[in-house]
């Protein structure tokens, strides 16, 4: 009760705006996790952002570890991205006709991710995965797909089966409104369980069009692929003539310039992108082997289209962002920042004796309030979400904005200076000592 009162005192304008928003928007939001239901209490309304910081409508300042759920890897309002968007806007917002910028962004992605020989831009990660699966089905002439429980690939009907992200946060069963027919061809197995995948291929040797996988599962917190898991998926898809789709909407241009596939040295057939490649504007994309991408209309028969696809403003933000990321040393910097934070939090966990699991790769991490390392959705769900909520609110009160759910990953941006990371470690220490 007292904690609730404190929150309201700190956030009176956010509170009032949320009251109004709830009368206008379902749950007061346009995407479920934003409503803070995973931690209880009202969300903070953001007024503006700059560099590593978010500023709320009550004048509070936060170090941002959400980064609009991933895109803002350079930090907010990065000068060259702002300049590119401003300059582009003066020449028009959208034409529904080809522009050079689309080829520019395509070259930047293709030049960074060797498995991608051709690419199609769409407007969100959801559209990217949905279209990639249609493509895989068109290319193979098969219907079944394999996904992993706790992985989230957007909200297309066929993929809302044991999905992560908001579905996990809210503890929802698979969504009403999805007809059984829509998911009849979706086969779901536990993350990191390649034997179960092999079993499915034994049962349906000629029916599986594709495996879609988050090469790091970042919608149930942060679950790393165990050694050999992704390799087995590559072998099995090759053996059974199915496609391997890496959903790198989250990991693309985050864990390395070439994404998780670069870190692992694995070549998927198709890759899905979103988030960073749009620099904070709405974008998604799917790309892959030329022979596969040649199925896409108008070159091939697989239909997929979009009024705002390849939008000039989004292309401009994406180009400016990727140009910055392609400069030498950027991913080394991100790695150093991640290590600084990771080592600090590990030390705090040791000193406070709190049994929590810090899972981390590149510029993303998750602190699970769990007794054992988390390897799949079942073990993620064993986390103490009540303890996470207390941690979340105490961190917020100390000016650190974390994802409002145990089942979301935290992101590090290039704008986070070492002193800010050290300040974050101090906050973690203060809060965990209180919770211990």
Q: Which of 361, 374, 42 is nearest to 216 (CA)?
A: 361
SS3 50: strand
Per CB under 6 A, contacts with ligand PLP among 15-74 are 69
Per CB under 6 A, contacts with ligand PLP among 160-199 are 165
Q: Which is nearer to ligand PLP, 409 or 425 (CB)?
A: 409
Q: Does 250 bind ligand PLP (CB under 6 A)?
A: yes
Count Cβ atoms below 10 Å from residue 306 Cβ, excluding itself.
16
Question: What is d(CA 20, CA 23) in angstroms, rounded to the nearest whole number?
Answer: 5
Minimum distance of ligand PLP from residue 147's CB (angstroms)? 11
Question: What is d(CA 395, CA 389) in angstroms, rounded to the nearest whole number?
Answer: 10
Minimum distance of ligand PLP from residue 378's CB (angstroms)? 19
Question: What is d(CA 169, CA 381) in angstroms, rounded to the nearest whole number?
Answer: 10
* Preceding peptide of 247 cis, ω within 30°: no
Residues classed as catalytic: 152, 247, 275
* 154, 215, 225, 310: residue in contact with ligand PLP (rule CB under 6 A): 154
Q: Considering only the stretches 19-27, 53-61, 99-107, 122-130, report the one whose residues sit in contact with ligand PLP under the rule CB under 6 A.
A: 122-130
Residue 421 φ/ψ region, left for φ over 0, alpha for ψ in the -120 to 50 degree band, beta for the rest:
alpha
**Residues 288-307 as x/- pattern, contact with ligand PLP by CB under 6 A:** --------------------
Minimum distance of ligand PLP from residue 281's CB (angstroms)? 11
Q: Which two tokens stand for residue 228?
A: 């050999």
Count Cβ atoms below 10 Å from residue 108 Cβ, excluding itself.
20
Minimum distance of ligand PLP from residue 178's CB (angstroms)? 16
Minimum distance of ligand PLP from residue 347's CB (angstroms)? 30
Minimum distance of ligand PLP from residue 17's CB (angstroms)? 23
Q: Which is nearer to ligand PLP, 123 or 140 (CB)?
A: 123
Angle of helix 418-435 relative to helix 330-352, nearest 10 degrees, comes to 20
Residue 401 near residue 374 (C-beta atoms within 8 A): no
Q: Which is nearer to ligand PLP, 149 or 219 (CB)?
A: 219
* 43, 274, 279, 404: residue in contact with ligand PLP (rule CB under 6 A): 274
Kindly list the strands in the beta sheet with 357-361, ordered across the sheet, starting from the edge strand earlier in the chain: 357-361, 364-368, 410-411
Per CB under 6 A, contacts with ligand PLP among 76-105 are none
* Interior/surface letters 313-326, b for 16+ CB within 10 angstroms, e for the rest: bbbbbbbbbbebbe
Per CB under 6 A, contacts with ligand PLP among 200-229 are 214, 219
Residue nearest to ligand PLP (CB): 125
DSSP-based helix, strand, coil % in the chain, nearest 5? 45, 15, 40
Q: Considering only the stretches 147-155, 291-299, 344-352, 356-364, report the one whose residues sit in contact with ligand PLP under the rule CB under 6 A.
A: 147-155
- Long-range pairs of 156-159 with CB within 8 A, sequence gap ≥ 24: 156/126, 156/129, 156/130, 157/182, 157/183, 158/130, 158/133, 158/182, 158/183, 158/185, 158/186, 159/129, 159/130, 159/133, 159/186, 159/212
Q: Which is nearer to ligand PLP, 126 or 424 (CB)?
A: 126
Runs of H (alpha helix) within 294-360: 312-325, 330-352
Question: What is d(CA 198, CA 205) in angstroms, rounded to the nearest whole number?
Answer: 10
Q: Which is nearer to ligand PLP, 32 or 51 (CB)?
A: 32
* 43, 125, 287, 362: residue in contact with ligand PLP (rule CB under 6 A): 125
Q: Considering only the stretches 124-132, 138-146, 176-184, 287-295, report the one whose residues sit in contact with ligand PLP under the rule CB under 6 A.
A: 124-132
Minimum distance of ligand PLP from residue 165's CB (angstroms)? 6
Q: Does 153 bind ligand PLP (CB under 6 A)?
A: yes
* 67, 99, 124, 359: residue in contact with ligand PLP (rule CB under 6 A): 124
Per CB under 6 A, contacts with ligand PLP among 228-247 are 247
Query: Contacts with ligand PLP: how many residues (CB under 6 A)?
Result: 16
Q: Does 269 bind ligand PLP (CB under 6 A)?
A: no
CA distance to 30, 119, 160, 310, per residue, from 155 (Å): 13, 22, 6, 21
Q: Does 129 bind ligand PLP (CB under 6 A)?
A: yes
- For 296, phi then psi, to 5°, come to -80, 135
Residues engaged in binding ligand PLP (CB under 6 A): 69, 124-126, 129, 152-154, 165, 214, 219, 247, 249-250, 274, 284
């Amino acid at each position: 009760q007292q904690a609730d009162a404190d929150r309201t005192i700190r956030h009176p304008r956010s509170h009032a705006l949320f009251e109004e928003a709830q009368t206008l928007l379902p749950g007061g939001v346009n995407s479920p996790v934003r409503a803070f239901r995973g931690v209880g209490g009202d969300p903070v309304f953001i007024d503006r952002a700059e560099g590593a910081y978010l500023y709320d409508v009550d004048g509070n300042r936060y170090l941002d570890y959400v980064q609009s759920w991933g895109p803002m890897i350079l930090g907010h309002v990065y000068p060259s991205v702002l300049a590119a968007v401003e300059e582009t806007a003066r020449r028009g917002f959208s034409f529904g006709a080809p522009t050079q910028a689309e080829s520019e962004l395509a070259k930047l992605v293709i030049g960074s991710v060797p498995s991608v020989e051709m690419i199609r831009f769409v407007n969100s990660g959801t559209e990217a995965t949905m279209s990639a699966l249609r493509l895989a089905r068109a290319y193979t002439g098969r219907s079944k797909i394999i996904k992993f429980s706790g992985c989230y690939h957007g909200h297309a009907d066929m993929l809302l089966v044991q999905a992560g992200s908001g579905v996990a946060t809210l503890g929802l069963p698979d969504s009403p409104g999805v007809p059984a027919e829509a998911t009849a061809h979706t086969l779901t197995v536990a993350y990191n369980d390649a034997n179960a995948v092999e079993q499915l291929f034994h049962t349906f040797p000629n029916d599986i069009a594709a495996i879609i996988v988050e090469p790091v599962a970042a919608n149930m917190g942060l679950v790393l692929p165990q050694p050999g898991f992704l390799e087995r998926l590559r072998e099995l898809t090759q053996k059974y003539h199915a496609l391997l789709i890496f959903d790198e909407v989250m990991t693309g241009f985050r864990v390395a310039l070439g994404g998780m596939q670069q870190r692992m040295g694995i070549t998927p057939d198709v890759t899905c992108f979103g988030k960073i490649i749009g620099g904070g504007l709405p974008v998604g994309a799917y790309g892959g082997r030329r022979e596969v991408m040649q199925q896409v209309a108008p070159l091939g028969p697989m239909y997929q289209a979009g009024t705002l696809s390849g939008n000039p403003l989004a292309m401009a933000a994406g180009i400016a962002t990727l140009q910055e990321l392609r400069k030498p040393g950027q991913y080394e910097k991100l790695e150093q920042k991640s290590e600084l934070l990771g080592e600090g939090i590990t030390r705090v966990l040791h000193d406070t004796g709190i049994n929590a699991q810090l899972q981390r790769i590149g510029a993303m991490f998750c602190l699970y309030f769990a007794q054992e390392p988390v390897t799949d959705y079942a073990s993620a769900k064993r986390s103490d979400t009540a303890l996470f909520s207390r941690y979340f609110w105490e961190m917020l009160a100390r000016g650190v904005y974390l994802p409002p759910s145990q089942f979301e990953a935290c992101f590090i941006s290039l704008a986070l200076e070492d002193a800010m990371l050290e300040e974050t470690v101090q906050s973690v220490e203060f809060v965990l000592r209180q919770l211990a």
